[in-house]
Structure 1
Amino acid sequence: MRLRVGGLDRSGRALDVREANLDAERVVRAVRDPADDRVRCPRPGPVHEHVGLVRAGVGFDRRATLAAVARSHGEYPPVLDDLDAARERLADHGADGTALRAARERAADATADIERLRERVAERRGEVTARREADLDAADARDRLRDAARALSEAATEQSAARQRLARERERARAGYDARAERLRLEDRVANLERDARGRLAERVAERFEGALADLTNEPEESEPRLRRLAAARVAVIAAPVVLTGGPFGDADAAAAWLGAPVLVL
């Protein structure tokens, strides 16, 4: 990554810029905004919203965070198929302006995911080439390339489905179809399935999360949200820098080594 703000111009995987007294919220927004030249880094995935900023005063939603962590590993519990089906049925009974806006947003998000994953595939392919040229074992790099390619293929499928849903919502919005009672029932079902999906996803990484948390504190049950975010960040697959203020690490290098991710210490 590269940080350029004020008189600073730093590059590296672990940057300590505490002397600059930067605002953490502004820095993390720059990390997440590909158009912001102040921080140039890999584009964050959805998990960055949960673990990308670690500072005092930020809360921790265990289920939602661990579900996002699991999704960063490509986890996909079968209940998500039921959730997708329920969402499709809800779309069939919800062709109002809100549903149409949601369909537009989902189509836009799917397109953004495609762009991000294409970049990841290119990076992984570069890693394989570099290791081969250096006569190094490229098996792990090839595995990461296959994982990235599979994620891209899945995202392309989701993009196609999102575009189809958007087209259907536009047709229904024009027709003015409404079935409120059925819509409310389906909304409840979708909400229940979403909670179930988050719970199942969270279970898949809970043990690793607890292990990481135990590395940070002798009293994990009493630990502050900041430490819980750190533990979740360690378990997550995360390419964009984690923004830290304070914490248990001696310096940025130690934080990056423990997290296995780029770090900005403010």
Structure 2
Amino acid sequence: MSGHSKWSTIKRKKGANDAARGKLFTKLAREIQVAARSGADPATNFTLRLAVERARMENMPKENIERAIRRGAGLEKEVDDIEEVTYEGYGPHGIAILVNCLTDNRNRTIAEVRRCFTRANGNLGEPGSVAWQFTEVGYILFNRQTDDGEPRDLDPEAIFMAALEAGAEDVVVSEDAVEVYTARNDLAQVSQALTEAGFEPDESKLIMRPNTTIALEPDEATTVLNLIEALEELDDVNNVYHNLELTDEVMAQLA
């Protein structure tokens, strides 16, 4: 299982409590609001469609989704001045980190992000200092197990072939997941083709994929993951990307 899938699994298990889910719904609502500024119809606004699909996968109430769309599209009196901003920096042991935020107060957000880096002996960098180490790609995930560890009825080979035929650039099959990577502009067509073929993904979104990864000893990797987790717990943080390689040894220590 690749690093992105491994960390997603950990977050799903940790996010089972009501408080974590409430915070997740807030972040999903912001994502929907920002996407809806380009159009309130998910059928013609692919970014909005992805955000809505993610919200539905997390069992976000339908009325919350619809309210977020209306607020983002300016169809309600109450409008949040939310903007997207990305911060770049280095965590412990030189691990590159991108922090994608949705915020209504940049000063508050950067102060909180900087505090996390400082406490972890990392540091924020200038724009462009880290981003060159990542490439924006489409990412489609099929989990082969439930959160309880039970196997799901998936045909990895069939997904593999369907994804490649639809134009995917890479497909990674492991014991725990099938991960499909696409060019940024091909995510919509590949995702739609897989869905029409009967394969319903657990995630479908744009991510920043590291061009290369760095493997650390488990104790060192844990200090980086503690920083990543602290960042992800911030209300304004939407996604955190990094180039740490989550090896089997690191996962064993986390378990």
| Shorter-chain TM band | under 0.3
- Greater percentage in helix: 1
With normalisation by structure 1, the TM-score equals 0.25
Higher strand share: 2
Q: Structure 2 length as normaliser, TM-score?
A: 0.25
